Amino acid sequence: MENIKNNKNKRKFSRLEKEAKKAREERISIPNTLPAIAMRSNMVIFPNTVVPFYVGREMSLMALEEAMEKTNNLVFVVNQKDPTVENPTENDLYKIGTVVRVIQVGKLPDDTFKVLVEGITRARWTKNVGEKFFVFELDLLRTRYGKSKRLIALMRMVKEELHKYVQYSRKIPPETLMLLEDVDNPDVFADIAASLCPGTIEEKQELLEIVHPANRLEKILDILVRETELLEIEQQLDQKVKERIEKTQREYYLREKLRVIRDELGGEEDVEIKELKAKIEEGKYPDYVKEKAQAELQRLEKMSPYAPEANVIRTYLDWILNLPWYEKTEDTLDINLAEKVLEEDHYGLEEPKRRILEYLATRKLSDKAKAPIICFVGPPGVGKTSLAKSIARAMNRKFGRMSLGGLRDEAEIRGHRRTYVGALPGRIIQLIRKLGVRNPIILLDEIDKMGISFQGDPASALLEVLDPEQNKDFVDLYIELPYDLSEVLFVTTANVIYSIPPALRDRMEVIEISSYTDVEKFHIAKKHIIPKIYEEFTETDKKVFEFKDESIGKIINEYTMEPGVRELERQLRSVIRRATLEYTKVGKKVVITPEKVSEYLGPSKVREEDRLDEPLVGVATGLAWTPNGGTTLYVESTLLPGNGGLIITGQLGDVMKESVRIALSLAKKMCGDEYAEKFSKNDIHIHVPEGAVPKDGPSAGITITTALVSIIKDIPVRNDIAMTGEITLRGRILPVGGIKEKVLAAYRKGINTVIMPKKNEVDLEKIPKDVCEKMKFVFVQTIDEVLEVALCDKSKQEKSDAITKKNSGKRRTRKGDSNSKR
């Protein structure tokens, strides 16, 4: 049968070859003008091929009729650029098409005609001379070439790729390739191969427009290689999918058969079900947990093990049966031991340590004491996270950390309902299961950096978690059972308190951790950081390096400017690395002196403005709080010829600009009519140096007022005094924050007298004792008191000294009281 088909194809090919040869002999009779048919089907007619197509549009039928009557059955066929155009113009057609000879025409029942044509040659139309239908003037496209080895190689490669394509694709019957077997003409071969080649209408049109057969064969080869590779990938994917489906069906059949066998043998239970039943019965769970687990297990028994719901139930049972419902660690209630651990791990931080010891003392007397919700608030690097770890070590509890920075999804706290794909409990329950006890210490880090999104407000979800009155019955949306969180000691950390929602802040005991003093940094570096780095870097008993105390002080003062000790640790690591390198070269202990520090770290990185050398007119020294600790702030003012304007520079914020306007109004009021002309005939320019650094806040009010009064009255401001306080239009001085950091900044600059609001006197308790003993504090309530002390007017100098002495005496009395309390 196959031989008969092959013979038929050969006879058909011979007939087509004879007709094509006859047409080639008649090429000279192809006229220069032919009627044209615009093709809009997904097909391109190539020369040397015989193909059918359908004609239905009126203008195409008229062109076909013209060809049958006047042009010896010859017609020009050209493709449309857009097949959806019903009435195309010349601009809608490609420039190159095929001259074809009509072999047969048949009418169909829907009044369209099926036309069988033979491609003769390529042609380019140049002009339309028809009125009712297309009649184009044509230029026939012919090429001259020699039959080279390259052409023969290309023909072989195209034939091989066509065979590969036919093996993967079902679009072309394998017997169609018989048309190419005996063709040795490269031009004819390329046209027949192009007609069999897959591709888009644009690619087929590009093949038609390529005249030289070598270039045409290269393009055909590119298309065939691409399509063959895609078909190979598709076949591989189909095979994998088929194998998976067969494997799943096979496993399902075997499991069902195994179940039937077990039923016949006496209904033996599934091993998994049996294990879960034993775990529920033998485990120590609350009654409501057992009831829920048994109900879910009964559902699991009734359904197929391959049902989607079965995996959901298995995962749910795994979660509720592995949660620590009763397991917990015993607290270490030895107060002395806990105090020793806290002192070993941290220097300073008296208030947080005292609060933990208070909690342990209450737990020692009664088990009913509720775990507090502690919130450590302070700048970065002061030891908030490490303090929470020390608390866990002191209490002998397991420690877990959960970062809340950037959290925007409420489900991270409460969990997802089981109806969602891939649902899981919230991170609180996940952490408790991981730790395996119901009374761990959980650190909720960066609680001030949570966000709100369309997925909910995680801060609101934390309200139940962090409320000692509610968290006894916390319900996770996935677990759907109440879980007791009252024995969990939650410790939260934040850099600032104002960004925490008020309702959440109300549930926590806020303990502020201020920035370290230079003395505290020195002891932390010497007792904690350097020994820790030494253990990391060396494992030998030999002494590799020795730190001089002056070197540590130099690194603190000249290479770090921060509230915590992270940058200090980085600089110490850098110095120790260099010392270790030097030790490996020299072979003896390296003594790290201040000179070595300069050699290792280079020039000083902290370049603050120095203290003023002498009193200046219009320049007052203020104090400011920054995230890196306190700093001094110089307010400069000057008079310029003008008409009473105000110039403000130094990148000041809105609040500080308001303080400048208040200070100006108050200065005009205080100076009176005597200086009114000076205000009206001059512009006042106020500048705060370090213009690239943003500054804001009301605490520079008295500093700005002092500078303005100084420039107007031409009285210098004392350079050995720094001040802070908010000013009002009545001249009252209001309290401000960050007193400890501001006083330490003045202390570092060598300024021993600080003016501050009277109501901030209570904040001096937080300042280290050794600093207080070297400082003088002037507490004021009005701007007049500030000017009496700050201005260097000779007539007021004695009165200024008296006020300073009086307030210093008060401070000494208060220091004595506070020291006795300590």
More confident residue, 301 or 733: 733
Token duo for residue 499: 């960004």
Question: What CATH code is carried by the domain that includes residue 689?
Answer: 3.30.230.10
**Is 364 found in the same domain as 309?**
no
Q: Quick check: is 795 catalytic?
A: no
Name the pairing type of β-strands 616-617 and 74-79: unpaired
CA nearest to 382, candidates 513, 558, 522: 513
Q: Is the pLDDT of residue 812 over 60?
A: no
In a domain, 807, yes or no: yes
**Is 74 found in the same domain as 110?**
yes
Domain end (from 107, 141, 175)? 141
CA nearest to 634, candidates 611, 653, 654, 651: 611
Summarize pLDDT for 82-121 with one digit per residue, the tens: 888 888 888 889 999 999 999 888 888 888 888 899 898 8
Per-residue pLDDT, 3: 46
Catalytic residue among 390, 514, 515, 699: 699
Q: How far apart are CA 256 and CA 236, in angstroms?
A: 30
CA nearest to 751, candidates 717, 794, 709, 722: 722
Q: Is the pLDDT of residue 801 over 50?
A: no
Q: Is 329 annotated as a binding residue?
A: no
**Is 463 found in the same domain as 492?**
yes
Summarize pLDDT for 181-215 with one digit per residue, the tens: 778 888 888 888 888 888 888 888 888 888 888 88
Domain end (from 80, 106, 141)? 141
Q: Is 385 annotated as a binding residue?
A: yes
In a domain, 690, yes or no: yes
Q: Is 603 annotated as a binding residue?
A: no
Mean pLDDT of the chain: 81
Domain total of the chain: 5
- Region of 711 (left: φ > 0; alpha: ψ -120 to 50; beta: rest) is alpha
Q: How far apart are CA 36 and CA 41, in angstroms?
A: 15
Half-sphere exposure of 302 (CA within 13 A, CB side): 6
- Name the percent of the chain lying above pLDDT 90: 9
**Is 428 found in the same domain as 318?**
no
pTM of the entire structure?
0.59
In contact, 500 and 452? CB cutoff 8 Å: no
Per-residue pLDDT, 13: 45
DSSP classification of residue 80: B
Token duo for residue 39: 């093709």
**Is 17 found in the same domain as 96?**
yes
**Is 659 found in the same domain as 586?**
no
Q: Is the pLDDT of residue 11 over 60?
A: no
In a domain, 803, yes or no: yes
pLDDT category at 690 given cuts 50, 70, 90 is confident
Q: Is the pLDDT of residue 448 over 80?
A: yes
**Is 279 found in the same domain as 357?**
no
Q: How far apart are CA 700 and CA 723, in angstroms?
A: 8
Q: Is the pLDDT of residue 17 over 80?
A: no
- Count Cβ neighbours within 10 Å for each residue of 379-403 and write b for 16 or more, e otherwise: bebbbbbebbbbbbbbbebbbbebe
**Is 668 found in the same domain as 810?**
yes
Summarize pLDDT for 256-293 with one digit per residue, the tens: 776 677 666 554 456 778 888 888 888 888 888 888 88
Catalytic residue among 292, 521, 554, 742: 742
Q: How far apart are CA 122 and CA 715, in angstroms?
A: 102
Domain end (from 141, 165, 189)? 141
In a domain, 229, yes or no: no
Q: Is the pLDDT of residue 755 over 90?
A: yes
Q: Is 451 annotated as a binding residue?
A: no
Q: Quick check: is 247 catalytic?
A: no
Summarize pLDDT for 449-471 with one digit per residue, the tens: 887 766 767 877 788 888 877 88
- 98 forms beta bridges with 77, 122
Element containing residue 734 per DSSP (H, E) = strand 733-734
CA 55 to chain centre: 60
Q: What is the largest CA-CA distance in the chain?
A: 132
Q: How far apart are CA 411 and CA 19, in angstroms?
A: 77
**Is 769 found in the same domain as 815?**
yes
Summarize pLDDT for 308-363 with one digit per residue, the tens: 788 888 888 888 888 898 888 887 777 888 888 888 887 777 777 888 788 778 87
**Is 555 found in the same domain as 635?**
no
In contact, 341 and 393? CB cutoff 8 Å: yes
In a domain, 676, yes or no: yes
Question: What average pLDDT does this structure show over 501-515?
Answer: 83
Residue 314, domain extent = 271-322
Question: What CATH code is carried by the domain that includes residue 495?
Answer: 3.40.50.300
Neighbours of 696 (CB within 10 A): 15
More confident residue, 438 or 42: 438
- Region of 652 (left: φ > 0; alpha: ψ -120 to 50; beta: rest) is beta
Question: What CATH code is carried by the domain that includes residue 131?
Answer: 2.30.130.40
**C-alpha triplet 191, 195, 198: angle, nearest 5°:** 130
- 619 forms beta bridges with 636
Q: Is 380 annotated as a binding residue?
A: yes
In a domain, 745, yes or no: yes
In a domain, 155, yes or no: no
**Is 551 found in the same domain as 531?**
yes
Q: Is 553 annotated as a binding residue?
A: no
- 636 forms beta bridges with 619, 687
In a domain, 164, yes or no: no
Q: Is the pLDDT of residue 134 over 50?
A: yes
**Is 495 found in the same domain as 592?**
no
